[in-house]
Amino acid sequence: MTLSEQTLPKTVPARRRLWRALDRRLGLSGLAYPVPEHANSIAYLLGGITFAGFVILILTGIILAQFYNPSPAQAHDSVIYIITQAPLGDFIRSIHFWTANLVVVTAILHLIRVFSTASYKRPREINWLVGLGLLAVTLGFVFTGTVLKWDQEGVEALAHNREIGELLGLWGVWFTSEFTRSVPILTRLYIGHLTLLPAAFTLLIAAHMYLIKFHGISKRATPDAKVDDETVIEGSSSFIHHLRRLVGFGLILFVVVGVLAIIWPAPLGQAGIAGEEVTKPPWMFLPFYPLEDVAGVNGLLAGSGLLFFLLALVPFIDRSPWLSPRKRRWIIIAGLVLLLVLIALGVTAWISRPVPHLME
């Protein structure tokens, strides 16, 4: 039967006819697979909201890239150009800035949700590790983005980048100026921000989504719920409804960052002076700052490495079949202690005066 024979009569509303025509060509009704009702609650939409944030970051990032100049002599001036001359430049830069901050918040809340509902348990252990990879890439975006501003905070972030690279020896050579004399390190971090990190993000998010579809969303962590020994994709809601809610929350996120961008435009400090250390890092890196007080950049490296190592262990040490937090008391307490330690370190850094940490 040809496509035209399948066309619905003109009496059928235009919207339905359009849906039918697109469905015939793109198989859209394949998206109407069942998902459990609880997947539509905000707690289970946090990963999707994070993804929506990335869409906003890509769109605004493409616009910013038209005006940003990644050479050390021009970078800071080009950010001033974006703020003062580029059409809607200040607003778009501020949306990029606020979305980057909120995406870290929603990714952390998503991690906390997955942790508290034990959704890392079998068969989802690998997806937990993929998620950690996504978190690392997200922090990589924030770090390189901070350098790109090329104000004092950016110049100091780059100095940390260099010193970490040197500490890592051969493994860290890419992060140092020794890697090549032909392209300045600022320009290479810009290329990293635009190509390497997006490529890593694309691969990881494709794996994350594939595994979510493969396993289905985890059950609710009710008092008697146990891990799934078999994957059964069922539920009273549909993925199309889930997508609609996601688009709704994505739009709310866009409005929130738009309002924040108008009220508090993204900050930019004076052009950076190499060798000075007078700023503190962005809030998500603050918990590692007091460790730098104790052991310099070694403390930063050891602290962040230990954090990711502990998180990576979670699915392999909590092997009981139970999902409910009440039946997983010790791991919930361990998680809370870790969170409190990170908050305490962050607050300590926030109220302390900036001090020099680098050897240079």
The residues of the shown chain that bind ligand HEM, judged by CB under 6 A, are: 44-48, 50-51, 107, 110-111, 114, 119-120, 124, 127-128, 131-132, 134-135, 138, 205, 208, 212, 217-218
Shortest distance, position 103 Cβ to ligand HEM, whole Å: 7
Shortest distance, position 45 Cβ to ligand HEM, whole Å: 6
Shortest distance, position 159 Cβ to ligand HEM, whole Å: 27
Angstrom distances, CA of residue 247 to CA of 40, 55, 107, 134, 307: 12, 11, 17, 21, 33
- Residue partners of 353: CB distance under 8 A and separation at least 6: none
Shortest distance, position 217 Cβ to ligand HEM, whole Å: 4
- For ligand HEM, give the closer residue by CB, 64 or 107: 107
- For ligand HEM, give the closer residue by CB, 68 or 239: 239
- For ligand HEM, give the closer residue by CB, 132 or 261: 132
CA distance 68 to 85: 12
Beta strand segments in the chain, E = 34-35, 237-238
- For ligand HEM, give the closer residue by CB, 94 or 218: 218
Shortest distance, position 115 Cβ to ligand HEM, whole Å: 7
- For ligand HEM, give the closer residue by CB, 13 or 321: 321
Shortest distance, position 236 Cβ to ligand HEM, whole Å: 17
Considering all CA atoms of the chain, what is the largest pairwise distance in Å, rounded to the nearest integer? 77
306, 296, 293, 297: which is closest to 341 by C-alpha?
Answer: 306
Shortest distance, position 108 Cβ to ligand HEM, whole Å: 8
- For ligand HEM, give the closer residue by CB, 51 or 150: 51
Give the phi and the psi of residue 217 in degrees, each rounded to 5.
-75, 145
Angstrom distances, CA of residue 75 to CA of 19, 44, 67, 139: 47, 40, 10, 21
Angstrom distances, CA of residue 14 to CA of 1, 7, 28: 22, 11, 17
Give the phi and the psi of residue 211 in degrees, each rounded to 5.
-70, -35
CA distance 14 to 5: 17
- Residue partners of 255: CB distance under 8 A and separation at least 6: none
Give the Cβ contact number of residue 202 at 10 Å: 11
- For ligand HEM, give the closer residue by CB, 75 or 212: 212
